[in-house]
Amino acid sequence: MTRRNHDIAELRRLDVAHHLPAQSSYKLQRDIGGSRIIVRAEGSTIYDGDGNAILDGMAGLWCVDVGYGRAELAEVAREQMLELPFYNTFFRTATPPPIALATKLAGLLGGELQHIFFNSSGSESNDTVFRLVRTYWDIKGEPQRKTFISRRNAYHGSTVASASLGGMSYMHVQGDLPIPGVEHVMQPYWFGDGFGEDPVAFGARAAQDIEDRILAIGPEKIAAFIGEPVQGAGGVIIPPDGYWQQVEAICRKYGILLVLDEVICGFGRLGEWFGFQKFGVTPDIVSMAKGLSSGYLPISATAVSRAIVETLRSVDDDFVHGYTYSGHPVAAAVALRNLEIIEREQLVDRVRSDVGPYFAAALARLAAHPLVGEARSLGLIGAVEIVAEKGTNRRFGGREGMAGPMVRDACIAGGLMVRAVRDSIVMCPPFIITHEEIDRMVAIIAAALDQVAETLRALDLP
């Protein structure tokens, strides 16, 4: 492969002059003289334009599950582009790749989830959920069932509907969200909100908050509950045992649809193909994206139960929803091959019985660090909580969000890409990460914690 030479200084100048990156401070972008330019990647390592090799502890953005540099995905895209680069699925047409991919997904999902609607992003998938669920209840003759229940600190995307479904208050401030008809309840964040309480009792309390809200609004008005099996962007929040069973039971009790957002958890992240399998619940609708194509092309999928599709098929009307790129043939062909790679290389098993446990053991060593309040993981996703006082969840400076970014910056400077969510360092490496790379991740985080410890302690003085 020929490597292109980039003029990095010029790219950074043009980045400030013309490019608005996603979810960014444009003042900071300007003040630091432009974004870090990532120019290539291989395996679990990304390379920036300044020649730094950085271990990618985030699999891109929770998505590059099969790792970088998969030539066969490029070849599949090339073949499909030459044969049929595009045709839509409006107007009673379809193309072979989305049909093959839908069939594959139906097999992996199993049970009643046998129908797939395609979109290009996780946000779009959840917008599909929003309109599909309301349309379903209209057809069922229960048009008053309009309200969605979600959790505070959930992430479901950045479009108007998906950011409303999400529970990020800092996102709601921009654009006057949420739109009407979305209610946010407690999240099952034991370390932050239930510290000192028995975790299972805390989980039950978080589930009970859902039922209380349903009863306060009126069960006949509730359309669906939506949640991520493990909250990702919210800080890798792993619910206590029993939580999901209780949520499912509450949904069934009141006839409410259960929607799982598997955009991060799907395709093996938790050591099972899907998070709902890990937690032993049966959703009516599942959103998927990211790992579906390992991020090689934008594609997402919304899986829908047979019963819902039967209802949609009980009327002549079109479901008047869909995107130009719904079922994009190139994206679907690449996604299908990506799933074949995951199967062929037994990457779900690898997460469950090899790198997942190895990652957990490495994090357990990190848990002994004086600045670490908790290190948690499930499969190959995890977080480290930074605290000012061991044995408590007290934060440096008495407020959240001071320590996290400092430790993150030290990690990146040390050669590890991770993210900070408030005061936790979150990790979501590719499934192909090696034991040596996991050890290196943990060593870099430990060194970063040591490096900033003194500064943090000085800032923490009353």
Task: Determine the residue type at 308.
Answer: I
Shortest distance, position 447 Cβ to ligand PMP, whole Å: 28
Shortest distance, position 62 Cβ to ligand PMP, whole Å: 6
The Cα angle at residue 159 between residues 28 and 104, in degrees rounded to 5: 115
Shortest distance, position 300 Cβ to ligand PMP, whole Å: 6
Beta carbon nearer to ligand PMP, 121 or 187:
121
What's the count of helices (H) and strands (E) in the chain, helices before strands?
A: 18, 15
Binding site for ligand PMP (CB under 6 A): 62, 121-123, 126, 155-158, 228, 232-233, 261, 263-264, 289
Tell me if 98 sits within 8 A of 83, measured CB to CB.
Answer: no
Hey, what are 439's tokens?
């050890």
Shortest distance, position 270 Cβ to ligand PMP, whole Å: 13
Place of tokens 């099969």: 66
Shortest distance, position 139 Cβ to ligand PMP, whole Å: 26
Shortest distance, position 304 Cβ to ligand PMP, whole Å: 17
Beta carbon nearer to ligand PMP, 59 or 371:
59
Beta carbon nearer to ligand PMP, 155 or 191:
155
Beta carbon nearer to ligand PMP, 263 or 333:
263
Tell me if 236 sits within 8 A of 376, measured CB to CB.
Answer: yes
Beta carbon nearer to ligand PMP, 235 or 373:
235
Shortest distance, position 356 Cβ to ligand PMP, whole Å: 19
Tell me if 363 sits within 8 A of 382, measured CB to CB.
Answer: yes
CA–CA separation, 317 and 274 (whole Å): 32
CA–CA separation, 378 and 238 (whole Å): 7
Beta carbon nearer to ligand PMP, 302 or 393:
302
Residue 357: CB partners within 8 Å, gap ≥ 6? Answer: none
Beta carbon nearer to ligand PMP, 80 or 162:
162
DSSP for 119-180 reads ESSHHHHHHHHHHHHHHHHHHTT-TT--EEEEETT----SSHHHHHHS--HHHHTTTT-SPT
DSSP conformational letter for 219: G
448, 453, 454, 459 alpha-carbon torsion, rounded to 10° = 120
Beta carbon nearer to ligand PMP, 135 or 300:
300
Shortest distance, position 147 Cβ to ligand PMP, whole Å: 20
